[in-house]
Structure 1
Amino acid sequence: MSDIDIKPGVKQKTRLQKPKLYKVILINDDYTPRELVVLILTAEFRLDMAQAEVVMMTAHQKGVCVVSVYPKDVAETKATRAIDAAGKLGYPLQFTVEPE
């Protein structure tokens, strides 16, 4: 017999989970100009003009509107950058991030 001991190996499969997704929600306010909201939506969220106007009008009419859905860190970063951009211009535009 051989000095090598052969035992059946057990292979473990590593399953990656998809990251949980979070909604970025635009909150309507009575102070931020519509044109600025559209500009921020196109710049930060990469919406085209038509999509940005639909999102802006939906938030204007209903009070809130989902802008887009991302992994948590991306959603929080985009929301923060959009709030900061409006804040630098003196407007109280707000976004929130919620689990999908």
Structure 2
Amino acid sequence: MKSEVINNCTEHWVVQPEVTNSEPQLYLILIHNDHYTPMEFVVALLEKFFNMDRVKATSTMLEAHMKGKAACGVFTKDVAETKITLTLSYARNHEHPLICSMEAAHE
């Protein structure tokens, strides 16, 4: 609460933060081709962590293989960071150098 004295009268008012109804920033997760991680492992990983069916996971893996990277999905920042952490941890536990990244999603 702020207050101010004007002509021996004290005025009080409450400053409230501006409220906006904006959507949270979304982030695109990308999986990158690394020439070492087996294709079958990438497909299984996409099914496990990105809830893709076998056809979608295979298509995404092939796009990464052919173009160097492919989109895995769009998520809020916290969800994207968590998915990347889980994905990379799983890959490292299986001794694969898989690379994932995230970038702000464009509307």
Q: Calculate the TM-score normalised by the size of structure 1.
A: 0.84
User: What runs of 5+ residues in structure 1 fail to find an aligned partner?
Assistant: 1-12
1:26 and 2:65 are equivalent in the alignment: no
Q: 1:92 aligns with which of 86, 90, 97?
A: 97
Superposition deviation, residue 14 in structure 1: 4.3
Extract structure 1 runs of 4+ deviating beyond 6 A: none
> What's 1:54 paired with?
59
Count of residue pairs the alignment pairs up: 88
Q: Percent same amino acid at aligned positions?
A: 38
The 2-side partners of 1:90 and 1:83 are apart by 10
User: What runs of 5+ residues in structure 2 fail to find an aligned partner?
Assistant: 1-17
Q: 1:80 aligns with which of 85, 93, 101?
A: 85
Of Structure 1 and Structure 2, the greater strand share is in 2
Superposition deviation, residue 15 in structure 1: 3.5
Query: 1:15-48 CA deviation, whole Å, 9 max, x = no partner?
Result: 4321110000000011100000000100001011
The 2-side partners of 1:15 and 1:99 are apart by 20
